[in-house]
Structure 1
Amino acid sequence: MFLADNETKVDLLNNEAIAKTIVELLRNRPEQPITVGVHGDWGAGKSSVLEMIEDQLDKNEETLCLKFNGWRFQGFEDAKIALIEGIVTGLVENRPALRKAGDAVKATFRRIDWLKVAKKAGGLAFTAFTGVPTPDQIETLVNGVEGLLADPGKIASVENAKAALATVTDVLKDEDTQTKNVPEEIEAFRKEFKALLKAAGVEQLVVLIDDLDRCLPDTAIETLEAVRLFVFTARTAFVVAADEAMIEYSVRKHFPDLPDTTGPQTYARNYLEKLIQVPFRIPALGDTETRIYVTLLLIGAEIGEDHASFGDLAHSASTDRRR
């Protein structure tokens, strides 16, 4: 018999109370931005808590719940841009009302494209004036900018690299982009995103972020930095599932020059607590809970979690655990 280690909406670990409490917290003041942390060791049931939260929030039409898994994008996409673009794309795809706001949607995606190019242009600028960038670097930079360069492979000199950089600079200063530096672009993006939420008729946007503790340090920090971009955006909430110890490790690796401590806590812990406003920690399983969990897993694998008898058994087990 094979037992899959997958998240589930069926509460086998007695964590439903945590999920319900988080949902009540989110829905209590939907207009207020908030970040919630679901912390626990690997295998504690963090992903299942997110599944239960999503299941409960989906019943409210005025709430839009989106999921993001940074681990899946690792090595393929810039984690910060991937999260930002994923949120906007999810909002557009799930709210037909935005079809009437075509110009606003295009403007928001234009901001995201600007941020993509701006980030990579910085690296190209340094390389272009200190050496010859590789064709792959040029191609990565201009990918998605239609007609910018017909053949990136022809760039084989500092002069050509400078010319390519000038072309990219022109893209960054496009007339459609009203501002010309990253802070102003980010602030403009935030304003446009608020307008999109209003046009979509979304009372609250909830983003569930999973598997952050499986990511490499840079990916984990980039994802958290993207969350920080939305922290003060009204009607936007984040629920981040991660092992606190792994995130602290990522902070130390990403910022190696930080002092070890500042007062009673480490800088790494302070970084996390500045971002996560309300932490929930999943307690470790005891012997009795572990036996009940394994028993339910075996029975569920045999008859299926959708079987009526399994539902009755899971409810009975939950009652016994509470007692």
Structure 2
Amino acid sequence: MFNPDVPIKSSNDDLLDRKQFAKQLARSILDYKQSDSFNIGLYGKWGSGKTSVLNMTVEYLLDLSKNDVNKPEIIRFNPWMFTDESQLINQFFKQLSSNFIGKKDKKKLGDQLQILGDVLGLTTFVPGVGILGTAASKLLNIFGKTLSNSALNKNIQKIKDDLVSEIKKNNIKFIILIDDIDRLSTIDIQSVFKLVQSIADFPNTIYLLAFDYDIVTRALEEVQKDNGESYLEKIIQTPFNLPVISEVKITQIFISELNKIFKNIPEDKFDTNAWAELLHGSISYYLQSLRDLARLNNTIGSGANSVRDDHLTSY
């Protein structure tokens, strides 16, 4: 039996007692009533369960806001699917705009999001030359005329200003969750934080960003020389650390999974207490996440058939 090591989709599947943490996080997000854009960080190592917590947080966001007259627009965005900054920005705005497809009263808002994404996704400048090739022709189609760099910047700012006005007019509240930031290259990590901090810093917008703190601060050191932590502190207004998994909980899950693997093994060949002692004595140091635990159980499970005639703690 192999453990696929995939994030849980529902709080019903929570083995780590993190559902209350996710619920409190969702409640904190919904309780934020200021109009300024607000950025929350969810810090955790690779394999520590950040995506599972995000999934539960979305579940609670939907449940806690189900009776609200003005429900928030909840958007999940995965930046690792795109190859460069232009594509990342374009697809980000396209995903936001898709939330308003079929909503006649918010069609203008959706169109403005799409246009801003199209423009920002095309604006690759060459110093002293401006916008080149296909990008220049597409921008010509959008604006109906050729623009200098300075004129283009003014037009982009006007599009953004109009969009901000439309967000306020419709009292739209965005909750945007961005996961897997720590999977990205250094330059793409920088692009995500540029997007959040200065491009899509809309009113009534809350970002929940999940990542490995050490990986991201190293990437941001190239933006603010040798001080990635300070740079991150300017962007993340409220950080949350993922709750640590206790050794007791790790042991419980480990034994539960072993029981599944060896359910057809005679009792005299499988000593639960011996495995628990082995875990405490020498293995637990290496198990820092459920991903580590899944790999260990997969390794044990893959060799179980070949040792069924032996005592399994010897294996």
Structure 1 residues 169, 104: closer, same or farther in 2, change over 3 A? closer
Tell me which residue corresponds to 1:51. Answer: 55
Residue 68 of structure 1 contacts residue 208 of structure 1 at CA under 8 Å; is this kept in 2? yes
- Is 1:192 aligned with 2:163? yes
Residue 74 of structure 1 contacts residue 215 of structure 1 at CA under 8 Å; is this kept in 2? no
Letter of the 2:121 counterpart: K
Q: 1:291 is paired with a residue of what secondary structure?
A: helix
Letter of the 2:218 counterpart: Y
Tell me which residue corresponds to 1:157. Answer: none
Identical amino acids, percent of aligned pairs: 19
Residue 176 of structure 2 contacts residue 207 of structure 2 at CA under 8 Å; is this kept in 1? yes
Question: What CA distance in whole angstroms lies between the structure 1 residues aligned with 2:260 and 2:201?
Answer: 42
- Is 1:205 aligned with 2:174? yes
- Is 1:271 aligned with 2:241? no
TM-score in terms of structure 1 length: 0.66
Tell me which residue corresponds to 2:212. Answer: 243
**Counterparts of residues 29-40 of structure 1 (less than 5 Å):** 29-32=32-35, 33-40=37-44
Tell me which residue corresponds to 2:144. Answer: 174
Q: 2:174 is paired with a residue of what secondary structure?
A: strand
Residue 89 of structure 2 contacts residue 117 of structure 2 at CA under 8 Å; is this kept in 1? no
From 25, 35, 41, give the equivalent of 2:28. Answer: 25
Residue 15 of structure 1 contacts residue 49 of structure 1 at CA under 8 Å; is this kept in 2? yes
CA offset at residue 241 of structure 1? 0.4
CA offset at residue 70 of structure 1? 1.0
Question: What CA distance in whole angstroms lies between the structure 2 residues aligned with 1:218 and 1:68?
Answer: 18
Tell me which residue corresponds to 2:187. Answer: 218
CA offset at residue 278 of structure 1? 0.5
**Counterparts of residues 225-240 of structure 1 (less than 5 Å):** 225-229=194-198, 232-240=201-209
Residue 83 of structure 1 contacts residue 223 of structure 1 at CA under 8 Å; is this kept in 2? no
**Counterparts of residues 3-152 of structure 1 (less than 5 Å):** 3-8=3-8, 9=10, 10-32=13-35, 33-59=37-63, 60-61=65-66, 62-74=71-83, 78-89=87-98, 91-93=99-101, 96-97=102-103, 99-117=104-122, 119-122=123-126, 125=129, 138=133, 141-142=134-135
Q: 1:3 is paired with a residue of what secondary structure?
A: coil
Letter of the 1:24 counterpart: R
Question: What CA distance in whole angstroms lies between the structure 2 residues aligned with 1:83 and 1:191?
Answer: 18
Question: What CA distance in whole angstroms lies between the structure 2 residues aligned with 1:300 and 1:194?
Answer: 57
Question: What CA distance in whole angstroms lies between the structure 2 residues aligned with 1:115 and 1:127?
Answer: 12
Residue 111 of structure 1 contacts residue 185 of structure 1 at CA under 8 Å; is this kept in 2? yes
Question: What CA distance in whole angstroms lies between the structure 2 residues aligned with 1:64 and 1:298?
Answer: 42
Structure with the larger RCO, 1 or 2 (CA within 8 Å, 6+ apart): 1
Structure 1 residues 269, 197: closer, same or farther in 2, change over 3 A? same
Question: What CA distance in whole angstroms lies between the structure 2 residues aligned with 1:74 and 1:301?
Answer: 40
Question: What CA distance in whole angstroms lies between the structure 2 residues aligned with 1:230 and 1:278?
Answer: 20
From 249, 253, 278, give the equivalent of 1:293. Answer: 253
Structure 1 residues 57, 298: closer, same or farther in 2, change over 3 A? farther
Q: Once the two structures are superposed, what CA deviation does each residue of 1:89-128 show, in whole Å capped at 9, x if it has no partner?
A: 2x214xx43x2444443344223222222x2354894797
Question: What CA distance in whole angstroms lies between the structure 2 residues aligned with 1:104 and 1:212?
Answer: 27
CA offset at residue 300 of structure 1? 8.9
Structure 1 runs not aligned, ≥5 long: 129-137, 143-164, 261-266, 303-323
> Which structure has the larger Rg?
2
CA offset at residue 197 of structure 1? 6.6
Q: Once the two structures are superposed, what CA deviation does each residue of 1:54-83 show, in whole Å capped at 9, x if it has no partner?
A: 001122241221101111224596323322
CA offset at residue 290 of structure 1? 1.1
Question: What CA distance in whole angstroms lies between the structure 1 residues aligned with 2:261 and 2:110?
Answer: 45
Paired positions, count? 252
Structure 1 residues 300, 76: closer, same or farther in 2, change over 3 A? farther
Letter of the 1:92 counterpart: F
TM-score in terms of structure 2 length: 0.67
Residue 194 of structure 1 contacts residue 234 of structure 1 at CA under 8 Å; is this kept in 2? no
Q: Once the two structures are superposed, what CA deviation does each residue of 1:132-158 show, in whole Å capped at 9, x if it has no partner?
A: xxxxxx4xx44xxxxxxxxxxxxxxxx
